[in-house]
Structure 1
Amino acid sequence: MKSKLYLIPSLLGNDDAARSLPAYNLAIIKSIRIFVVENEKSARKFIKTVLPEKKQQELEIHILDKNTSGEELHELSKLFKRGESIGIISEAGLPAVADPGGKLVRLAHQNQVQVIPLVGPSSILLALMASGMNGQQFMFHGYLPIDKFERKKVIQKLEADSRKNNCTQIFMETPYRNNQMLEDLIKFCQPSTSVCVAANITMDDEFILTQSIKEWAQKKTDFHKKPAIFLLES
């Protein structure tokens, strides 16, 4: 048998699996024994949540995170020679999208291993869908700089580039710094620039709102410790 590499979406939070994942995904998870994951504890919790009958002690778990070395990645690629299907699970959402799993996907292609992406939630695309912003031209930038001076420069550049190229700019922040991010956007952007904050996507207290910087400055908000995506259009 030839190995296959399944890209298995995980939940974005404590949301209902039935809302976010098709039944086909559960059948794939049930059939796989070997998983490459970003975090073992959260990956096991995810598998137990969506498939409680699957025996945890039978799982073979390997770690692939931002600290995985080239040598360790080479060792992971040896899994492809075992003829078993492998599943990648990221910390949240889609594997290989803003996620280190993409490194193993590249190696799979180099080893002629079939890569199979499964349907599931992406906070980035769900936020873009719901923002009302340009879905034809958009860029994702991951995390912006923490340094205040550098962050100001990047925010103002994103705003200028959005205006010049008619492009939606998408980025994220560590949840405990969300409020600071919004404060910086209000401080450094033009009043007419539109910003969308999409927090706790797919969860019961989901919040998605697009309005101008001027309107955000007049609104009381608190996104502390809530996973969020920020979108900007100027």
Structure 2
Amino acid sequence: MSAHSEKSGVLYLVPTPLDFGIAQDAPAPPGQWLPAETLSATSRLTHWVTENAKSTRAFLKRVEAVAGLAVPLQAQHIVELPRAAHKKGDHAPQPDSDAQARELLAPALSGHDMGLVSEAGMPAIADPGSSVVRAAHALGLRVVPLTGPVSLMLALAASGLNGQNFAFVGYVPQDTSERAQRLRELEATALKTGQTQIFIETPYRNAALLQALLQTLHPHTRLAVCGALTLPQQVCHSALVSEWKRKAGRQDSLPLDAPCVFLLGR
């Protein structure tokens, strides 16, 4: 491992509001979700590694309106993670992706502080970016996570499920039979160990996943769904599967066209 140099930059993990991709006439200023210290640190950065350059520019434009930017938006140095990190993820160590991540951090080795940012929420949590964090540690760079919204933790807190023992398992299969099998496996783990199982889906498949859950899970299993977290239309419902089925209106009130977090357990 490389020794940290006092001349090296810092890698900041910059959280963003959870409203990316959700149509709003007037998005709330980022200060509604991000504390002043996070906005201040963000405004000072000029070099970025991002999941999506377009969404990062939109985020920085919102930051500029309330905290200013060290250099104009057009002069910000923004590079995207490799395409493979988007398609296959970069959470597990891989020689190729980790080597590419080191190259992306070259400005930090030259003394520039850098920001790692995803489209919404905290980078490297249910989003790409882990390879960059691993590379920063390997290069001896200081890694600083900034405070901001993390949908998985907000949903867990609002679910009433076990917050002492939980697992985020990512996405479940799209194939109907494979999805049902995976849901039964997650349910069995949750009921046997008490470990809350947390997973997500792309918004246009949220409704199908909810129906699969209600058709597959046992009546006494607790299911929680939290959608559009931090937004005005946010809804969190948590109940036994039998209660979900008895109160169909509960399903109708969920913003299933927005990002949702699904949780199951005892």
After superposition, the C-alpha distances for 1:169-201 in whole angstroms (9 at most, x for unaligned) are 000011011111110000000011111110000
2:49 matches 1:36: yes
**Does the aligned pair in 2 maintain the 1:138–1:170 contact within 8 Å?**
yes
Which residue in 2 is equivalent to 1:116?
144
> CA deviation digits over 1:137-180, x for unaligned, max 9?
00001111111111111100100000110111000011011111
The answer for the alignment partner of 1:102 in structure 2 is 130
Report whether the alignment pairs 1:140 with 2:153.
Answer: no
SS of residue paired to 1:100: coil
Letter in 1 for 2:259: P
Tell me if 1:230 matches 2:262: yes
Tell me which of 23, 42, 51 is aligned to 2:36: 23
The alignment-based identity, stated in percent, is 38
Which of 180, 187, 202 is the matching residue for 1:174? 202
* 1:5 has 2:48 as partner: no
Where do 5+ consecutive residues of structure 1 fail to align? none
Give the secondary-structure state (helix, strand or coil) at the position aligned to 1:2: coil
- How do 1:160-199 residues align onto structure 2 when only pairs under 5 Å count? 160-199=188-227
- Count the aligned residue pairs: 234
Please tell me whether residue 214 in structure 1 is matched to residue 238 in structure 2.
no
Alpha-carbon contact 1:7-1:95 (below 8 Å) kept: yes
Indicate the residue corresponding to 1:84 in structure 2: 112
Residues in 1 aligned to 2:35 and 2:29: alpha-carbon distance in whole angstroms: 11
Instruction: Answer with 109-118 or 90-99: which moved more.
Output: 90-99
Whole-Å separation in 2 of the counterparts to 1:65 and 1:51: 27
2:242 match: secondary structure: helix
The 3 A distance-change label for structure 1 pair 228 and 208 is same
Distance 1:177 1:65, change over 3 A: farther
- List runs of 5+ in structure 2 lacking aligned partners: 1-6, 20-26, 86-95
TM-score (normalised: structure 2): 0.84
Tell me the C-alpha RMSD between the 2 structures: 1.5
1:124 Cα shift? 0.1
Judge conservation of contact 2:226–2:235 (CA < 8 Å) in 1.
yes
**Paired residue type of 1:43:** T
Please tell me whether the aligned partners of residues 102 and 132 of structure 2 are also in contact (alpha carbons under 8 angstroms).
no
Partner of 1:205: 233
Secondary structure in 2 aligned to 1:149? helix
Per mean C-alpha deviation after superposition, the further-off stretch among 212-221 and 132-141 is 212-221
Residue type of the alignment partner of 2:11: L
The answer to whether the Cα contact below 8 Å between 2:29 and 2:62 also exists between their aligned partners in 1 is: no
User: What is the letter of the counterpart of residue 58 of structure 1?
Assistant: A
AA matched with 1:232:
L
**Cα 1:66/1:193, change in 2 over 3 Å:** farther
